[in-house]
Amino acid sequence: MPKVSVVMPVYNASRFLNDSVNSILNQTLGDLELICVDDGSTDNSLAILNSFEDSRIKVYSLKHQGGGNARNYGLSKVTGEYLFCMDADDILDLNAFEKFYEISEEKNLDFLVFKAINYGVEKDHYFETEYQNMTNIYNKVKDNVFSYKDLGDLLFDFNVSPWCKFYNTEFIKSTGAKFRENSKFHDNQFFWDIIFKAERIYFINEFLYTRKRYNQSLTASGDIGHIDIIGVVNDIVKLFEKHGQLDRYKHLLYNLKITWITDRYNQVQEKHKREFFNKMKNDYLSLKIKEFPNILDEDKRFIYDCVIISKSYNDFDLIKQYFSNSENKLAKLNEDDLKNKKTISELNNKLQEKENTIKELNDDVKNKDKIINDFNNTIIPNNEKTISELNNKLQDREKTVNELNNNLKDKENTINNLKSKINENNTTIQNQEQAITDLNIKTENNQQTMEKLTSIIKNKYEIIDELNNNIDNKNELIKNNTVEISKLKTKNRNLIEENNYLKTELDNRFSFKKLLKKK
């Protein structure tokens, strides 16, 4: 039995595959097996895997189904004490397994977690992200073994990716956890199914993994697969319920449901928005949790309500865009509101100071009263003057307090006016929605009219073509008649000439006969 089993799904990763495989095979802890599952690559990834002459590497080839399917297949082949999930274009520090194994054995861990550094391929630079640093979690647990119970709401700051964790294989098999299949968000299901069962977790506060990042990553491509986030989130909710944690975390979880789904909707390509919106709306309408909307924070409740009232994704986008513009317009009002709040805070501080002064004066008055009671027979006339002055001061203080209260009421009126303006904006949105509906009806009527006009114009063109053909035929006939007329004219001239000739001939003959008769 090897100490470590590495499961590596591979799909069209030829560019960095050699570096990734070598970062596993060249570990200082060499007692390992590398299970590579080619997920139907169309480049030469499979040939690269088969080119390694190392008995520790095992290569399997599947039809393309996705990372979750490939990881689950790899899990079924694992024989090592510990499990590590590697991505085919990333790099692991060469001493990582030796460190992971030693700490896991020493502390009897279910799994350990560590940090990753990002490498931007296009710009050739390294950078950190809070999601992969998990600073808040480390600051909470430090160098202690912990479980989810120690994290509270920081549980949602966990990086759910499997490649930043080193698992005890027996623990993973006991949970029965699997990666979500046929989904690009397959990591979530696996993580949330094991976190509530892990009792011993440890954080190594070191960068031991290099994550390759591209401008167009798998989860940022905005394709139809983004819609699966709805099913993923619902399954996460079921896992919280399965492990008895839904009541404890439902406020955060339901707000994150809106955030996760909306973020993926905003990333999806335009051609997929209609289908995404319809499934999102159906999901929200199908919720049987009556208190769901009331659990949401104000901004998440706004998104939820927009989805419910929108008839199409276009309406939803228009409402979001309108409120985005409205927020800019209200920024000035909010700024003024902050100034008002600051003024109110300053007034409250002054009021507190006045109250403290009044309290001090009251204490002084009490002391004076005690002195008066104790030494009533020895009071000098000036004491009455002093008390009178103190009473006057008290009246002045009360007047100041009343003025401050009036100012506070003015500020409350200002806030109420702001709320009224927001309600007016909501009414404007409803009017715009009706205007959009009217425009859609007019557009449909115009389209029908255009189709009728197009049909009439087409018929007119056909009549014109027929008339042109008739004109051409008439012109041809006229041309032929013209030729015939010319021939007839020529023939007529010839006949006239012949007639004249015959007439002349007859005249000559007649004259000759007359001459003969005379003789």
Q: DSSP letter string over 334-369?
A: HHHHHHHHHHHHHHHHHHHHHHHHHHHHHHHHHHHH
Count of domains for the chain: 1
Long-range contacts from 408-417, C-beta under 8 angstroms, 24+ separation: 408/344, 408/347, 411/340, 411/343, 411/344, 414/337, 414/340, 415/337, 415/340
CATH code for the domain of 177: 3.90.550.10
Q: How many helices (H) and strands (E) does the chain have?
A: 15, 9
Own/partner pairs for 414-417, CB < 8 Å, 24+ apart? 414/337, 414/340, 415/337, 415/340
pTM, to two decimals: 0.62
Contact 60, 77 (CB under 8 A): yes
**pLDDT at 232 (0 to 100):** 93
User: Please, what sign has the CA dihedral across residues 481, 484, 490, 496?
Assistant: negative
Cβ atoms of 228 and 267 closer than 8 Å: no
DSSP helix/strand/coil, 178: coil
Q: Quick one: pLDDT at residue 380?
A: 47
Within-domain flag for 507 = no
Q: Which of 76, 238, 231, 327 is nearest to 319 (CA)?
A: 327
Report yes or no on 418 lying in a domain: no
Whether residue 146 is contained in a domain is answered as: yes
Q: CA-CA distance, 117 to 167, in Å (whole number)?
A: 20
- Predicted local confidence at residue 227, as pLDDT: 93
Give the bridge partners for 451, in sequence order. none
Given the DSSP bridges, would you call strands 165-168 and 111-120 parallel, antiparallel or unpaired? Answer: antiparallel
CA-to-CA dists, residue 96 to 26, 72, 162, 249, angstroms: 11, 24, 15, 34
Supply the pLDDT for residue 387. 57
Instruction: Identify the CA nearest to 167 among candidates 236, 97, 116.
Output: 97
pLDDT at 269: 92
Question: Would you state the structure tokens that stand for residue 478, as one six-digit string?
Answer: 């006229």
The residue segments making up the domain with residue 168 are: 1-217
CA distance 35 to 22: 13
Instruction: Indicate the SS3 state at residue 429.
Output: helix
Within a domain: 477: no
Kindly state whether residue 282 falls inside one of the protein's structural domains.
no
Per the CB < 8 A criterion, the answer to whether 48 and 77 are in contact is no
CA distance 318 to 439: 14
Q: What is the C-alpha separation between 450 and 446, in angstroms, rounded?
A: 6
Rounded to whole angstroms, the Cα distance separating 444 from 408 reads 55
Q: Beta 91-92 vs 201-213: how paired, if at all?
A: antiparallel
183 phi and psi angles, rounded to 5 deg:
-145, 140
Residue 450 inside a domain? The answer is no
> Is 84 within a domain?
yes
In the chain, the amino acid numbered 374 is D
What six digits make up the tokens of 247? 């009541």
Return the residue matching tokens 């079924």: 76
pLDDT at 152: 94
356 in a domain, yes or no?
no
Distance CA 56, CA 268 (A): 41
What pLDDT sits at residue 371?
A: 60
Look at the block and give the residue holding tokens 């051609």.
271
Residue 290 host element (H or E): none
pLDDT tens for the chain, 519 residues long, are 999 999 999 999 999 999 999 999 999 999 999 999 999 999 999 999 999 999 999 999 999 999 999 999 999 999 999 999 999 999 999 999 999 999 999 999 999 999 999 999 888 899 999 999 999 999 999 999 999 999 999 999 999 999 999 999 999 999 999 999 999 899 999 999 999 999 999 999 999 999 998 775 444 468 888 999 999 999 999 999 999 999 999 999 999 999 999 999 999 999 999 999 999 999 998 887 667 788 899 888 888 888 988 999 898 888 877 776 655 544 554 555 555 556 656 666 666 666 666 676 666 656 666 665 665 555 445 555 655 665 676 677 667 657 766 766 776 776 677 667 767 766 776 777 677 777 778 777 777 877 777 777 777 777 777 877 877 777 787 787 778 778 888 888 888 887 788 878 777 776 766 666 665
3-state secondary structure (DSSP) of residue 14: coil
